[in-house]
Structure 1
Amino acid sequence: MRYNLVTILGPTATGKTGLAAHFAARMNGEVISADSRQVYRGMDLGTGKDYEDYFVDGIEVPSHLVDIEAAGVHYNVYRFQTDFIKVFEEINTRKKFPVLCGGSGLYLEAVLKNYRMIEVPPNKELRKELEGKTLEELTEILKGLKPKLHNYTDVETDRRAIRAIEIEKYYAENPRDESEMPNINSLNIGIDFDREMRRQRITSRLKQRLDEGMLDEVQKLLDSGLTPEQLIYYGLEYKFLTLHLIGELTFDEMFSKLEIAIHQFAKRQMTWFRGMEKRGTKIHWINGHLPMDEKVQAIVQLLK
C-alpha cells in the first residue's frame, strides 16, 4: 500500500508533537494538528502547544490548524474536517508530506474514517427548553439520543452537553451527505507508555506548565473579556484554573482535582484509540521510551 499520510496519535503527555515534527523534517513534510483546543489563540500552556517541539536542528517545521481561532469561539469537528481537507490538499500541491498529529480521537476518526459531517446551526428553542436542567439530566437526555456515548467530554459541562444534544437532534432530523474527502491511506502510529509512566509524565508536565505561568495565561484570558463560564467550557486546565482564580478552589484543591482529571482524560483517550482499532483502524504502537531517532526510523521502516 502506498501511504499519503502518516498519523501520530496517543494520549496526552506522550511526546506526539516532537515525534511528528522530527518525522516531518525527515520526510520534507508538514504537521497538521488534530487537537480540539490548540486551534485557539492565547490558549498555549493549557493546551500544550509546545511550540519549541516544532524546531528540529534549529529549523521550524511548518504546522497547521494551530492558533486559527479566537478563544471563546466554539470550534467543532465539522470545521476541523473541512479545514483538514483544505490543508491536506495544499500540502500535497506543494509536494510535501502531510503528518497528522493529535490526541482528539473524534477529530482523528473524522479524517481517517471519513465521517459524514454537516454544520449544525444553533437551536434557540431547544436551548431554552434545556436551560436549568442539571448535568446529570442532560447526560441522560444525550444517552437517549446517542446510547453509545464515546466522547465523555460532551458531558463535562452543561454547555457542552446542551450542544451535544443539539447536534444529535439535528442529525436525527436532517440527512447527512458524504463529505468530499480526498482519498487517504494513512499509516497510523501510536506512542505507547505503560500506565505508570504515563501518569508520571502527566504530573511532571502539569507542574512544569504551572511553573511556566499557566495561571497567568488563564488570568490574561479572563482579563481580555472572556467569562469564567466560557473558559470552564474548555474543560481540564481551563476549568480548574478558572475555578481557582475566581476563588472556588484553593491552589492545592485545584492541582489535585486537575491532576486526577487529566489522568482520567488520558485513560479515556486510550479507550478511544482501542475503540478505533476495534472499528477497523490499524494502529502501529511504538515504544515511547525509544530515542527520537529510533522512533523516526521505526516509522520510516513501516512506511516502506
Structure 2
Amino acid sequence: MDTYNIITVLGPTACGKTSFAINLAAMLDAEIISADSRQVYRRMDLGTGKDLEDYTFQGTVVPYHLIDIVEPGYKYNVYEYQHDFLQAYNDIRKRGKRVVVCGGTGLYLESILRSYRLSPVPQNPTLRKELGGKSLSELTTILKGYKTLHNTTDIDTTQRAIRAIEIEEYYKQCPLENRPFPKLNSLTLGLGVDREIRRKRITARLKSRLERGMLDEIRNLLSEGVTAEDLMYYGLEYKYLTQHIIGQLSYEEMFNKLEIAIHQFAKRQMTWFRGMERRGTPINWITPPTLPISKEDLEKILAPYM
C-alpha cells in the first residue's frame, strides 16, 4: 500500500463507487477527496447525488473533501479543482492519513492522475458573441476538432460547450505557465457494471430522488436568486428540472428526457475512461464487491497490485 500516494475509485454514474470508496476508506483509515464537478456546490444535494449521510461506515465517520465548497451560480473549473485538490491532499498526508479519490468527472480525475499543468482562463466576449447563435450539436462538433485535453462528458448545454471552446482557444493561443503539479502514484480501480443493471439503477435512483424532493431543491435555489440560466448550465438534473419548473417541459417530458440524458452521460463517462487508458492511465477494472467488504475480500481486491 505504501507504494501508492492515492487510491482512485472511478466509474460511471450509478456504479456504486461512492459506497465502495467509503467502505474502502473506513477500512484503510483514509479520507476521501471527491472528483465530482457538481458536488462542489452547496445546497445542490439530491441533483448531484451527494448522499452525505452515507459517509459513516459501521460507526466510523469517513472525512470527505471538495464537497460543498462553493455557492450555486459560480462557475467552478478544473484549474481551481487542481489547486483545491493539492491543499486537501497535503493536509491529509500531513496528518498521516491515506487518500482515496472518488468520482466520475473524467477531466478532474485525469488532471491529477496525469499531472496536467493548467492556468486560469479569462472570458472571451468576442468569441462568445461569435458562438452565441450556434446549436449544441454545432458547438460539440467544433469542440471535437481540438486536440488538447477537455472534458466532453458534461457538455449538455450551449453555455458549457461555449466555455469549453473558450478554454481550448485560450490554451491554443497562450502557452501554459510553468505550474508544476506533483506526480502522484495512484492505484486506480474502475468499477464496471453491466449496462442493463446500470440502466435499471439509473431509473430507480431518478425516481427515488424525485420522490425525496429534488424538484423542491431546484425551487429553493431559484427562490434564493440563482437564475434559471445558471442552474441549467450545470446540466442533467438541473437542466431538465429547471425547464419543467419554468414551464418549458411537462413532468413526463422532463422525466423521459432526463432519463435518456443520464444514460447518455454514463456512456460518455465510459468513453472518457477508455480514453484515459489509451492516454496512459492504467485502470484496474473490477466488479463492485458486495458491501460491506470483509478484511479478506479487501485483501483479495488489493493483492494483485501490492
Task: Report the TM-score, using the length of structure 1 for normalisation.
Answer: 0.94
Q: 1:91-110 maps to which residues of 2 (within 5 A)?
A: 91-110=92-111
CA distance in 2, matches of 1:196, 1:149: 30
Q: Contact 2:7 / 2:99 at 8 angstroms: preserved in 1?
A: yes
CA shift at 1:233, angstroms?
0.6
CA shift at 1:142, angstroms?
3.1
Q: Contact 1:189 / 1:299 at 8 angstroms: preserved in 2?
A: no
AA matched with 2:279: R
CA shift at 1:282, angstroms?
1.2
CA distance in 1, matches of 2:47, 2:40: 12
Q: Contact 1:35 / 1:104 at 8 angstroms: preserved in 2?
A: yes
CA shift at 1:85, angstroms?
1.1
Q: 1:101-120 maps to which residues of 2 (within 5 A)?
A: 101-120=102-121
What is the aligned partner in structure 1 of residue 126 from structure 2? 125
Q: 1:228-267 maps to which residues of 2 (within 5 A)?
A: 228-267=228-267
CA shift at 1:150, angstroms?
6.7
What is the aligned partner in structure 2 of residue 201 from structure 1? 201
User: Is 1:287 matched up with 2:287?
Assistant: yes
The alignment of Structure 1 onto Structure 2 pairs a total of residues equal to 303
Q: Which runs of 5+ in 2 are unaligned?
A: none
What is the aligned partner in structure 1 of residue 160 from structure 2? 160
CA shift at 1:90, angstroms?
1.0
Residue 29 and residue 75 in structure 1: after superposition, are their counterparts in 2 closer, same or farther (change >3 A)? same
What is the aligned partner in structure 2 of residue 80 from structure 1? 81
Identity %: 58
SS of 1:40's equivalent in the other structure is coil
CA distance in 2, matches of 1:299, 1:88: 24
Range with greater deviation from structure 2 (179-188 or 79-88): 179-188
Residue 27 and residue 303 in structure 1: after superposition, are their counterparts in 2 closer, same or farther (change >3 A)? farther
CA distance in 2, matches of 1:262, 1:102: 16
Q: 1:211-222 maps to which residues of 2 (within 5 A)?
A: 211-222=211-222
AA matched with 1:47: T
Residue 178 and residue 190 in structure 1: after superposition, are their counterparts in 2 closer, same or farther (change >3 A)? farther
Q: Contact 2:28 / 2:98 at 8 angstroms: preserved in 1?
A: yes
Task: Report the TM-score, using the length of structure 2 for normalisation.
Answer: 0.93
CA distance in 2, matches of 1:48, 1:302: 31
CA distance in 2, matches of 1:155, 1:206: 20
Residue 103 and residue 41 in structure 1: after superposition, are their counterparts in 2 closer, same or farther (change >3 A)? same
What is the aligned partner in structure 1 of residue 303 from structure 2? 301
Q: Contact 1:25 / 1:61 at 8 angstroms: preserved in 2?
A: yes
CA distance in 2, matches of 1:292, 1:273: 26
What is the aligned partner in structure 1 of residue 50 from structure 2? 49
CA distance in 2, matches of 1:155, 1:51: 26
CA shift at 1:52, angstroms?
1.9
CA distance in 2, matches of 1:102, 1:75: 16
CA shift at 1:135, angstroms?
2.9
SS of 1:91's equivalent in the other structure is helix
- Encode CA deviations 1:57-109: one digit per residue, 9 max, x unaligned: 12320000000000110011111111111111111111100000000011100
CA distance in 1, matches of 2:137, 2:7: 39
CA distance in 2, matches of 1:159, 1:82: 24
Q: Contact 1:143 / 1:149 at 8 angstroms: preserved in 2?
A: no
